[in-house]
Amino acid sequence: MTSPAPSAVCSSVLDLAPVVPVVVLEDAADAVPLARALVAGGLPAIEVTLRTAAALDAIRAIASEVPGAVVGAGTVISPAHVTGTVAAGARFLVSPGWTDVLLEAMKASGVPFLPGVSTTSEVVALLERGITEMKFFPAEAAGGTAYLKALSSPLPQARFCPTGGISLASAPSYLALPNVGCVGGSWMVPADAVADRDWARVERLAAEASALGRG
């Protein structure tokens, strides 16, 4: 099955769902059932991190076999990552940080992307370059909700997907902020559930996450 063009899916990663699952897969054979469980639970945007050798095959499998999923690539840190993941079917890109070289490659990819920031200067530098949507990472370690709230007044045009240390309990406080579009997290894909291939549990946890509202 051919994946729809990114522009046909969405113009913004931040508006797909309140939570983007951050997935680490050791076995690409788990990619499709895991993605189906997440989609069934109401989380269509799935970030597959490039932390394992199985990542590209996992992205390729989800893109071709799970039409309800919007699969993206995380831990993108080089132009080679950009071209490789987009060729595999990634519909969005997420980086833990950025350089001008990486930013240009992501811009040229034709898919939505979230460059990572953790300081005010990095946010301003991206705004200078016309980028208004970013990943805030590592969210909890970098100042959490207090830091993002402080940024919202002087830099209201910047919108974020905070990721790093966020849980079901803490996610609502992030989602209540005016400059947060969604959060990234891995609590709905716990390692033991993936190892046990307990897709029903993943679906239940995804449903809890997808139900998170603002305020």
Q: What is the sign of the dihedral through the CA atoms of 62, 50, 171 and 11?
A: negative
Active-site option among 47, 128, 133, 203: 47
> At 131, which helix (H) or strand (E)?
none
Q: Which among 16, 13, 21 has a CA at the least distance from the CA of 187?
A: 21
Q: Which among 63, 92, 57 has a CA at the least distance from the CA of 184?
A: 92
Catalytic status, residue 122: no
CB 50 within 8 Å of CB 82: no
**How is residue 6 written in tokens?**
């990114």
Active-site option among 107, 135, 140, 203: 135
CA dist 188 → 32, 43, 56, 93, 151 (Å): 16, 10, 21, 20, 28
Rounded Cα–Cα distance for residues 51 and 45 (Å): 18
Give me the half-sphere count of Cα atoms (radius 13 Å) on the Cβ side of residue 181: 19
Q: Specify the residue for token string 């070289």.
A: 101
Omega prior to 138 cis, within 30 of 0:
yes
Catalytic status, residue 135: yes
- Annotated catalytic residues are 47, 135
